[in-house]
Structure 1
């Protein structure tokens, strides 16, 4: 199709979309983006690598938006491979069609484009996007998403003098193709080669501040394999937000940020005018990887010198205590005027308990990872599309049990059924020696408790029923459990996955089918007219809005 025809079709689609949902969206603003995804040279660790660039940038463009804004993001794939972007922590209310993982979307073929239509419905906070297919995440293609409160909604802190986004995480010198081949051969990934902050290594970034003023730092762990610890030399950090929830404003000298997690802190430039290290180090690893950026006072008298300040390394107890100290700010408004604490999550009785245990079976002579003994294998057709068109044989609902089986692992396209508007308890159980990190698309959940040992019903006596934080990614410590409560208020086919990307790639994920028999636009938007179709749905036609 000629370029002008594609543009005309896109305009017609979005005009139709706007008219159809104008009653729902009211006068919420629209923001339009055009992203060109290419491969190009990057030098994150001093050597030339081929990275994934968005509009020529590594990391990709930062998205600044406001609660309830509509984002129209047209993604053109100029790579030689199919490509998808997912939106980590963005809930996609009634619209899992835009989630950007293979279970819901057909990949964008080379030379083609797909336009995402996202609404930041009832969300605030710090998030990020990244490429979700294969090992593309190891080449870049990620960027920050900052959702600001609407002007009439008060925030529980003074407006900062500046707002900085830091995308930090581990990095490999090997290409995604080589890493994928390592995993496909039945081996685990090697130890990372280093850490990056905003795509740069040691002292590669400078953040300039004015003495006496306060700044917001949004930090996300965009790595593949390791938890990180974040700290700023000589300064304390006031925690204010975690993945869309305003928190009690506790002070920290360092913060553990696990794979896929995002935090916001306020830092006041109240030290003598100098340059200071911003330090990120790997957590729970031997050896410890470290990288730095520079906090530069605009009236600085001198440069940083000597080693950066040390931080925690393999200690679990201090990390667990810190995680338990993060609480919801009950008096602060979220995206709406009412206080966060007006939703009494602890007074709702869950109708179902799901226990999820990770394990690392060897299947057919190769290393795999599993949930409740099931190692996920992608189907030939995205599950959401197969479900919509009622294509039989792609997946089976109930193909993963609600509780650990403790048997040997097996391969399956695993999908779990759940009823719309039910309220459930999920217990993540980790019997391995490494920290796990779990993410649930399309929802936020309340972290009720975490502890070492075996979870039992008596563990509920230690749950925080009053002011635990709501988020979308949570860690589970070695030989430990983490319990969450979650309202299934979003119809769709939603990915539950390990944020350790090798584990995700080798099967530690499944899909939760949140189902409504009403089939109403009130509960879920229809398939978009521009939806890409592939696999067994290739010759189907999308239905008009």
Structure 2
């Protein structure tokens, strides 16, 4: 176990920050992770608390800030935190999934060191091991623009985070046991908003003002829809991209996705419901929070505002309507549209199809027929130390095989600075959501039916939104363009956490032959080592 690094030691701090920019501000966080009793649905459960909080603390940062998280694991089992949407430029060492990091051992600590380089927007963090996500341990992330960078809307009167997701009354250990026994999870028991059930949250707003709500789906299995009774939502940001400011009365948010909307309190002064419900499910789960006018004259009036339930076309059309704001600045002063993604020729097409099957009597899920099995050593460490036998490059094909499913520690080989087309193909009857760590991509197309080369004729090559998580509707496909500009070992996964746990994921190794610190930061001095990497030196090897 690595020795704890206390911030009182200036020399130790300098060594930890060697890969960060010294010109940008630092924000320090000390977190203690524990089990504790939580009661989100009126029954006692074992929850994961961060500094005693469920959900965990909100992270506030500004573009290019250096974030230093000293995480103490007070659980009786290993633990890791991952950062859903933080790009970790040149720094997959901090990604917080088992393919890149050794777990923090019980009673140990690890200091994550990262810079939110050239990022703005709304994201969240979550625990990535042992089905811990079903116990909590998640929280919101806000990255604000630097003061001199124009934002395409007036400063809101307030900024709220809504962490929405499905929830089970069973402890995460029971859910994990179900999956380990080769069975599927039951239907969730309820939805939570910020860790609470119906009417468990009240947001107080002044009449006649505009507020920002950042909505993240932190759930395990279902898309959600959100409505503000009597009010509309103006969409302004999706996972770090300013969008065209379309107005919606109801908004779908699939697993792992984050949206920012503006809500103006222009209605008569009383209380209103904020309503979330599951999408594409039968039955439909619903929960509420209270939008309270500070000069309220009464409680919310029933009935709850209705929303879509199983309509795929409604959701597909809404997803297509979300566009990049080409004139707005991103993290830098130049407009988002100055990068003409649609004029660059792709050098490779990767088609990824999800599937489900029984292997050795157990339920498993796969990508291109390969069901991922974790190795005994994080893949990033095995790659860095050139440890044979942990994984093989090219162990997942570029195209669906439609053959029998098999188990493999699957790693896709890719080259730094390539520009690729990735097509997610869904031949199943359930909605999928896909996330790529370390990257944002342009969602150039989505449609029903089977993808073919002719589908490219309908691509949006001008103002497709850039994001890190995309949904794929039943018997449908979604296509993205992505510049491989981030060297490292990166997780590509289903955001349906049971499917991810049972194999619907793999890793992409983006390789630069230059072996230069310009392309990728060196191994951190405080890196935890485990498996076949145990006992190795953590100081960077010669470059």
Length-normalised TM-score, structure 2:
0.98
* Deviation readout 1:364-411 (Å, 9 max, x if unpaired): 111100000000000000000010000000000000000000001000
Could you say if the C-alpha distance between residues 97 and 144 of structure 1 is closer, same or farther in structure 2, counting changes exceeding 3 Å?
A: same
What is the SS of the residue equivalent to 1:319? helix
- Give the alignment partner of residue 443 of structure 1, picking from 435, 439, 445: 439
Cα deviation for residue 13 of structure 1 reads 3.6
Q: Match for residue 124 of structure 1?
A: 120
2:382 to 374, 380, 386: 386
Q: How does 1:233-382 map onto structure 2 within 5 Å? A: 233-382=229-378
What is the correspondence of 1:375-524 to structure 2 with a 5 Å cutoff?
375-524=371-520
Match in the other structure for 1:224: 220
Question: Any unmatched runs of 5+ in structure 2?
Answer: none
- The offset of 1:512, in angstroms, is 0.2
Q: Distance in 2 between matches of 1:309 and 1:347?
A: 43
| Counterpart in the other structure of 1:91 | 87
Further displaced range: 178-187 or 482-491: 178-187
TM-score w.r.t. length of structure 1: 0.98
The 2-side partners of 1:100 and 1:9 are apart by: 25
Counterpart of 2:178 (choices 170, 176, 182) is 182
Contact 1:13 1:529 in 2 (8 A): no
Matches of 2:447 and 2:77, distance apart in 1: 42
One of 81, 87, 103 as aligned partner of 2:77 = 81
Other structure's SS at 2:302 match:
coil
SS at match of 2:538: coil
SS in structure 1 at match of 2:6? helix
Q: How far apart, CA to CA, are the structure 2 residues paired with 1:299 and 1:11?
A: 51
The C-alpha deviation readout for 1:174-217, integer Å capped at 9, x for no partner, is 11111111111111100000000000000000001000000000
**C-alpha contact (below 8 Å) 2:193/2:289 kept by paired residues:** yes
Query: What is the match of residue 58 of structure 2?
Result: 62
Residue in structure 2 matching 1:529, options 517, 525, 528: 525
Distance 1:430 1:457 in 2: 16
Three-state SS of the structure 2 residue aligned to 1:360 is strand
Task: Work out whether residues 156 and 210 of structure 2, in 8 Å CA contact, stay in contact via their aligned partners in 1.
Answer: yes
Instruction: Return the alpha-carbon distance in structure 2 between the equivalents of residues 236 and 222 of structure 1.
Output: 23
- Number of residue pairs aligned between Structure 1 and Structure 2: 541
What's the CA shift string for 1:57-78, capped at 9, x where partnerless?
0000000100000000000000
Shift of the alpha carbon at 1:489?
Answer: 0.3
Q: Report the CA distance between 1:298 and its aligned residue.
A: 0.1
Shift of 1:305: 3.7
Residue 16 (structure 1) aligns with: 15
Q: Distance in 2 between matches of 1:333 and 1:473?
A: 21
CA distance in structure 1 between the aligned counterparts of 2:141 and 2:8, rounded to whole angstroms:
28
For 1:74 and 1:12, the matched residues in 2 are separated by 16
Change (3 A) 1:349 1:269: same
Q: Could you tell me which residue of structure 1 aligns to residue 205 of structure 2? A: 209
CA gap of 1:8–1:236, structure 2 versus 1, over 3 A, is closer
Rate the CA distance shift 1:458–1:73 in 2: closer, same or farther, 3 A: same
- How far 1:9 sits from its partner (Å)? 9.2
Q: Distance between the aligned counterparts of 2:513 and 2:8, measured in 1?
A: 32
Kept in 1: contact 2:229–2:305 (CA 8 A): yes
2:267 match: secondary structure? coil
How has the CA–CA distance of structure 1 residues 506 and 470 changed in structure 2, closer, same or farther, with 3 Å as cutoff? same
Shift of 1:159: 0.3
2:35 match: secondary structure: strand
Cα-Cα RMSD: 1.3
> Of residues 53, 65, 72 in structure 1, which corresponds to 2:68?
72
- Return the offset for 1:541: 1.5
- 1:255 Cα deviation after fit: 0.4
Question: Structure 1: how far apart are the matches of 2:495 and 2:464?
Answer: 22
TM superposition shift of 1:2: 12
The answer to whether the 8 A contact 1:13-1:530 is kept is no
